[in-house]
Structure 1
Amino acid sequence: MGTVTPLPFAGRTAPLQTGFERPELLRILDLYGRMVAAGHWRDYAMDFHRDAAIFSAFRRAAERPEYRIEKRPALRNRQGMWALVSEAGAILKRGDELSNVLAPVERKLMKLVAD
């Protein structure tokens, strides 16, 4: 019989790109759609890098994003892989659950709808 040569997989390699899974993206786009309907957001952008996936929401296309929702899987066991970052770059909320990280924006949406 022939010889079997093992494949040279030394270990698990890092992915070439980090992305959002379908339920995560649906949750984010649902919030985005409600903010658009309230007249607060008008544009968005998504960036996919090796270590992070970033969803940015804009009030106007020519400005810096009002919020960035970042997914960094490398921080899963430390601070949580989800982060909500403000326009100034300050981290507003960090955690393991996307719904908890989106809570400040959800509260803001409730105030916008109530007004």
Structure 2
Amino acid sequence: MSFDANSPDGQAQAGPVFFDRRELDQMLRVYGRMVAAGEWRDYAMAGQKDFAEFAVFRRSGDAPVYRIEKRPALRLKQGQWAVIGEGGHVLKRGRDLDQVLRVFDSRRFTVVE
């Protein structure tokens, strides 16, 4: 059972959780930027019963470097969005996908000596 965040009363809806077009656009924009920087090379998406996952990889055969999860059941508590690092640590959690994806903005700048 998944929750429709767009429905006014938040009614449960049958079927797996997945990303809508706007959410995918935001995630793929970040993915494209990181591919252009040479940090990421592949991605995978999965829709499960209670969450959806967008995983990114450095190389195709490796474990995911980052996972972006959508868990609608947490939307009124901690927020339905989370970025999870390689070790399973939650790097950022929140209600707004744009805000959560900003965790990757800090990776743009590096110190040059």
TM range (shorter): 0.7 to 0.9
Residue 81 (structure 2) aligns with: 82
Q: What TM-score do you get using the length of structure 1 for normalisation?
A: 0.83
The gaps in structure 2 that reach 5 residues or longer are 1-10
Q: Distance in 2 between matches of 1:25 and 1:94?
A: 17
Q: Distance in 2 between matches of 1:41 and 1:15?
A: 34
The correspondence of residues 40-51 of structure 1 with structure 2, limited to 5 A, is 40-51=39-50
Larger gyration radius, structure 1 or structure 2: 1
Q: Distance in 2 between matches of 1:13 and 1:93?
A: 26
Q: Distance in 2 between matches of 1:74 and 1:13?
A: 10
How far did residue 17 of structure 1 move? 0.7
Aligned residues between the structures? 102
4+ residue segments displaced more than 4 Å: none
The gaps in structure 1 that reach 5 residues or longer are 1-11
How far did residue 14 of structure 1 move? 3.5
How far did residue 43 of structure 1 move? 0.3
Residue 63 (structure 1) aligns with: 62
Q: Distance in 2 between matches of 1:74 and 1:64?
A: 26
Residue 28 (structure 1) aligns with: 27
Root-mean-square deviation (Å): 1.5
The 3 A distance-change label for structure 1 pair 94 and 29 is: same
Q: What TM-score do you get using the length of structure 2 for normalisation?
A: 0.84
Q: Distance in 2 between matches of 1:58 and 1:23?
A: 22
